[in-house]
Amino acid sequence: MTKKKGIFDVQITQPPIQLNSKEKIRQDITIEQALSVVLRQLEASGCRERTLYDYDKIVHYFIRDTKVTYLMDISNDVIYSWLEKMEVKNSTKLTRLKSFKAFLSRCLDNGWFNNKFWRSVNVRVDTEIKEGATDEDVNFILSLLDYTKFLDLRNAVAILMMYRCGLRIGTLARMKESHVNLEDKKLELDGEVMKNHKGLVLPIDEQMAYLIDVLMKQNKMIRTEYKELNEYLFITIKGTRTNNSITSNSIQRCLRKYTLKYGLKNINPHALRRGFAKNLYTKSNDLLLVSKALGHNDLSVTTKYLHTELTDVADKLRKFL
């Protein structure tokens, strides 16, 4: 049979069809998955709500800004690139970096990394000497408050507790009236209200005991009026707790208003607590005592709080030579 010429000769100008090979599915863990596990572990260990919030927020900042999905794709270059993109102060960058490093360390503990490659990543920040509140600062603001008004009375007690007892604003928000022993003039704090989850007993003076007693009687009337059943020592004008969210505290907002209204700079929770630490250190020369009173687990944190100068340390050590 004769083959007909050209009948099987195909004329084609299009290239051969390219078949898409199936995309390889990655088996390693994503950052989101790792974060979910870490947050559950922290919650189970009794970690405070604010710490969980910070972990979640900072890690999601990283995912959003870098577009990195998988844990294994995180590198020092990626972290540095993330830091460079931030339009914030170096001190804020350092805070975020510390939180992200803490998350990575948790990932290392879970066996998802083989080494601490991020150890060398850092942000240079000039040390800022933060002033603590003084007796003059505190006496001035207390003289401006009207103790016949509930909010001013509440805020005065809060200011005194931070300045004379060194308590954190978060501790105040969690305190119950049962933590106050008016008969023995003591604050008997348990681990539930303390950041380090360790109990602490602190003395209070006659003036503070009197003001707390008046505050608790007023609290009872307000809770009855608004049918609130909580036992918090510090409440709002409607009888609810003072921190209605992780980052919002009504006492702190009031102090901010005082600062703006009266031109004050050292009437804030950190300045008041730092003022307590400096006063106690000046009177006792006992760094360990100050550290225990502040509820610190590490003496290095206390020295940063006090900004203890090298010459000051040398002078104190000279007494033991």
The string of pLDDT tens digits covering residues 199-245 is 999 999 999 999 999 999 999 999 999 999 999 999 999 999 998 77
- The pTM (predicted TM-score) of the whole model is 0.74
**Token couple for 315:** 């002078």
Residues 180 and 252 in one domain: yes
What is the rounded average pLDDT of the residues 64-72? 95
SS3 assignment, position 248: strand
Do 228 and 263 lie in one domain? The reply is: yes
Output the CA–CA distances (angstroms, integers) from residue 100 to 56, 105, 149, in the order listed: 10, 9, 44
Residue appearing with tokens 């270059």: 77
Residues 41, 97 within the same domain:
yes
Q: What is the mean pLDDT of the chain?
A: 88
Look up the CATH number of the domain holding residue 36: 1.10.150
Q: Is the pLDDT of residue 310 over 50?
A: no
Average pLDDT (184-193) is: 95
Q: Are 254 and 248 in contact (CB under 8 A)?
A: no
Same structural domain for residues 79 and 114? yes
Q: Is there a single domain that holds both residue 230 and residue 264?
A: yes
Query: What's the domain range around 55?
Result: 31-120
Domain containing 145 — which CATH number? 1.10.443.10
Crossing angle (nearest 10°) for helices 31-44 and 90-109: 80
| pLDDT tens digits, 250-304 | 999 999 999 998 888 889 999 999 999 999 988 988 888 999 999 888 887 787 7
Res. 306: pLDDT tops 60: yes
98 inside domain: yes
Domain total of the chain: 2
- What the block records as the tokens of 197 is 């989850």
Domain boundary, last residue among 68, 94, 120: 120
